[in-house]
Amino acid sequence: MLDWSDRHGRFFHRLLTRHTRLYTEMVTTGALLHGDVARHLDFSEEEHPLALQLGGSEPADLAHCARLAQRWGYDEVNLNCGCPSERVQRGAFGACLMAEPALVADCVKAMRDACALPVTVKHRIGIGRNESYDFVRDFVGTVAGQGGCRVFVVHARNAWLEGLSPKENREVPPLRAEVAYRLKADFPDLTFVYNGGVTRDEQIEVHLCHLDGVMVGRHAYHEPWAMRTWDERFFGAAPRSLDRDGIEAQMVDYMTRIAAAGVPWAHAARHMLGLRNGQPGARRWRQAWSDHRLKGEPPAEVSRRARAALAPHNLALVP
């Protein structure tokens, strides 16, 4: 979710769901050790509960970053052992770490020793074409037993480290949800969260029959309106009255604030382009918000023009 789940995207998503846990894009230890820490870690209080996802493989560096996560006020720190990109592999972290479970255990232990936050691991169910269940079972057993990790987010596909792009790695290796279910059966005291290929609420309900949670990535980003019922449906929260016009108005207020602070409002607007998917006129509405000629206008004016583009199709449609 690099460049997708930044702080502006997370603020937008929090308008739609108050209880779903949000995750940052993966931040490398190098970026926090040598870069602008505040730029990578700052977030709005509205984003809680929020997890910082880290990429790295040096226990001492990860421990330092875990301390930063606690200092900044995150609710969880997550170690990425699932990203298959070549750039990540060159840094010797991501999915290739699954081949070194003892090292991952050392990383997790160092992070747990450095902070009081829950330290979790996101991983695949295998690397390459090896589909042996023993591989992922032993990985989880080592990281839990030696590192003390209690929560595993399982992307239920292998990571093919050669021959596929990151996009293809999200689509080509077959999904095997039964592997995640089997992990829960073998490690009933651990928490397992399912990830991969979820596009409908009904799928979430099926996975929750077997596991403790579900992580939804790209579907939630591309179809954000799907999140509006999650608090009530999955967390037992009281129903909320949400409509797309109201969400857009809140985003306009947010974009006005960040523009006043010197941040181009378009950095936030791009995250809400899926808000009106399925409504008549949605394409023209997106075009207005994406029009580079309007980027010097105040967000309220762009919203006025975008909503006018919907007008021939009746803004009073039931949301």
pLDDT at 129: 86
Predicted confidence at residue 313, as pLDDT, reads: 52
Quick one: pLDDT at residue 161?
74
pTM score, whole prediction: 0.92
By three-state DSSP, how is residue 119 classified?
strand
Residue 316 has pLDDT above 50, yes or no: no
Give me the chain's average pLDDT, please: 92
The pLDDT of 67-90, averaged and rounded, is: 85
Residue 151 has pLDDT above 80, yes or no: yes
**For the segment 202-251, what is each residue's pLDDT rounded down to a tens digit?**
999 999 999 999 999 999 999 999 999 999 999 999 999 999 999 999 99
Percentage, residues of the chain above pLDDT 90: 84
Give me 45's structure tokens. Answer: 């209080």
Q: What is the pLDDT of residue 318?
A: 39
Average pLDDT over residues 87-105: 80
Residue 38 has pLDDT above 90, yes or no: yes
pLDDT bucket at 95, cuts 50 / 70 / 90: confident
Mean pLDDT computed over 73-90: 81
pLDDT, tens only, 250-266:
999 999 999 999 999 99
- Closest-CA residue to 153 (of 110, 188, 113, 196): 196
Q: What's the whole-number mean pLDDT along residues 295-319?
A: 78
Amino acid at 157: R
Q: In the predicted model, is pLDDT for residue 303 greater than 60? A: yes
What are the extents of the domains in the chain? 7-235, 244-313
Looking at the structure, give the CATH architecture of the domain made up of residues 7-235.
Alpha-Beta Barrel (3.20)
pLDDT of residue 3: 74
Q: What is the pLDDT of residue 31?
A: 95
pLDDT score, position 18: 97
In the CATH scheme, what architecture does the domain 244-313 have?
Up-down Bundle (1.20)
Strand partners, 124: 155
| H helices present in the chain, as ranges | 7-16, 29-34, 37-41, 59-72, 86-90, 101-114, 133-145, 166-169, 177-186, 201-208, 218-222, 230-235, 244-260, 266-269, 282-290, 299-310
CB < 8 Å & 24+ apart, contacts of 257-261: 258/8, 259/298, 259/299
Q: How confident is the model at residue 315 (pLDDT cuts 50, 70, 90)?
A: very low
- The structure tokens listed for 50 are 């929020």
Tell me, rounded to whole angstroms, the distance of Cα 154 from its chain centroid.
13
Q: Which amino acid is at 283?
A: R
* SS3 label, residue 156: strand
What does the alpha-carbon distance between residue 158 and residue 168 come to, in Å, rounded to a whole number? 11
pLDDT in tens, 107-140: 999 999 999 999 999 999 999 888 999 999 999 9
Cα distances (angstroms) measured from residue 256 to each of 28, 90, 252, 260, 269: 30, 40, 6, 6, 11
The pLDDT of residue 169 is 73
Q: Which residues are catalytic?
A: 83
55 burial via Cβ count (<10 Å: 0-12, 13-18, 19+): buried
Of 61, 50, 36, the residue nearest 6 (C-alpha): 50
By the 8 A CB rule, do 242 and 16 touch?
Answer: yes
Q: pLDDT-derived band of residue 68, with 50, 70 and 90 as boundaries?
A: very high
| Token output for 218 | 């790209």
Distance CA 253, CA 233 (A): 28
Residue count (the chain): 319
What the block records as the tokens of 298 is 């105040």
